[in-house]
Structure 1
Amino acid sequence: MTGPERLIGLPPVIPDVCTLLVLGSLPGRASLAASRYYGHPRNHFWTLMEGVIGESLVALDYPERLARLGARGVGLWDVIGSARRGSSLDGDIRDAVANPLRPLVESLPHLRAIGCNGALAAKGAMRALAGLDLPILALPSSSPAYTLPLAAKAEAWRALGAFILPPR
C-alpha cells in the first residue's frame, strides 16, 4: 500500500496502583520521535494535568512527570496501536489498528475511571470497553489544533481529579 508510513504507538505507562487511565488517540510525530507521551511543546496535556493533580508537571523532565502522575494513580496509553497518518492530526489517521484496551483495563483492579483525550480516543474507548462498569469521560483534546480556550479545557479536565490518589 502506498501513502504515509505506518506509525507505531508507545507502550502503556501504568503505575502499580492505577486508579485513572488517560487514553489518547495515537501520539503525534514529535511525541513518537521523542518516545514521550505529549512530547510536542505546544500540547496542553501537561498543563491540564497540573490542574487535575494540583502539582507542578510542566517544569519537570519527562521521567519526573511520569513519576508524579504515577504517584497519583494516573496511567497513560492510546486507543490506537498503529496507523498510517500523514500529519499529527487525528483526522489524517488511516488503517488504524486498535490497542488491546480491554485486557489492560481488566488487569487493573484499582481502576476507577478512564479519561479520553479527544473525540477519537473517546469513540475508540467506548467501542473497546462497552459493557464494563467504569466511567469513561470524554474530554476536549489537549492538542493546540483543538481551538477551545485552555481555561475551558481545564474546567472539563478537572473532573478527572475525583479519580486520582491523594498526595503522599
Structure 2
Amino acid sequence: MTRKAGFDPVVDAKTRLLILGSLPGDASLRAAQYYGHPRNAFWRLIGGVIDQDLAGLPYDDRLARLRAAGIGLWDVIASAERPGSLDAAIRRPEAADLRGLVESLPALRAVAFNGGTAARLGRAVLAAPPAGVTLIDLPSSSPAHARPFDQKAEAWAALAGALDQRRTGQAG
C-alpha cells in the first residue's frame, strides 16, 4: 500500500489559531490544496469565523486571507498508509511534529482539531499544551460527517475568540 503524505504547515509568526486536520484526502492530494474536496465545508466554515467569503477565491488568496487573520493550517499525521480518504482507513500513521510547530509560534493562543481523528491524535501529542494555548475540538468539515452545516458553523464560531487581538495573552 502506498504511503500518503500531508502538506507543509501554513503558518507564520503572527499565527494565533492553528487548525489541525488528520491527513489530506485523495481529492486534496490531487489538487495539492488543504481541504480541496469540493464538498468539504472547511472554507465556508472558517470564512464564517472571519466573516469573509473564502470558498470562491483562488487557493493562494484563501491562504493569504487566513494568514492575514492569524490562522494557520496543518495536519496531525505527516504520512500514513490509507486506501481512499476516510480516517478510519488510516494505517501506520507517522505523527507530524506538532509540539515543535506549536512551540515555534510565539503568538499562538489556540489549537483547533478538525474532527475526531485529529482531536484524538493531536491531544495525545499536546496533552500539556504550552501556557496560554487552548485546545479546541471541532466537528469535522468533511462531507463524510453529515452533521448539518448550521450545527458545524455554530461550533466553529467559537474560534473567533482565539483571533480577538484585543485580548491579553490568555487563550479563549
Normalising by the residue count of structure 2, what TM-score does the alignment of the two structures yield? 0.92
The match for 1:163 is 162
Q: Does 1:137 align with 2:156?
A: no
CA RMSD of aligned residues (A): 1.0
The match for 2:41 is 44
SS in 1 for 2:43: helix
Q: Is the 8 A contact 1:69 1:75 kept in 2?
A: yes
Moved over 2 A (4+): none
- Per-residue CA distance 1:79-127 (angstroms, 9 max, x = gap): 0000010110000000000000001100111000011000010111111
From 122, 126, 131, the equivalent of 2:123 is: 126
From 8, 11, 32, the equivalent of 1:11 is: 8
Structure 1 position 15, deviation (Å): 2.8
State the number of aligned residues: 163
Q: Does 1:35 align with 2:40?
A: no
Whole-angstrom distance in 2 between the partners of 1:31 and 1:58 = 14
- 1:5-154 pair list within 5 angstroms: 5-132=2-129, 133=131, 134-154=133-153
Stretches of structure 2 that go unaligned for 5 or more consecutive residues are 166-172
Q: Is the 8 A contact 1:19 1:165 kept in 2?
A: no
SS in 2 for 1:151: helix
Query: Which amino acid counterpart does residue 125 of structure 1 have in structure 2?
Result: G
Percentage of pairs with the same residue? 53
Query: Which amino acid counterpart does residue 156 of structure 1 have in structure 2?
Result: A
Q: Is the 8 A contact 1:15 1:71 kept in 2?
A: no
Structure 1 position 165, deviation (Å): 5.3
Stretches of structure 1 that go unaligned for 5 or more consecutive residues are none
Query: Which amino acid counterpart does residue 84 of structure 2 have in structure 1?
Result: S
Whole-angstrom distance in 2 between the partners of 1:60 and 1:95 = 35
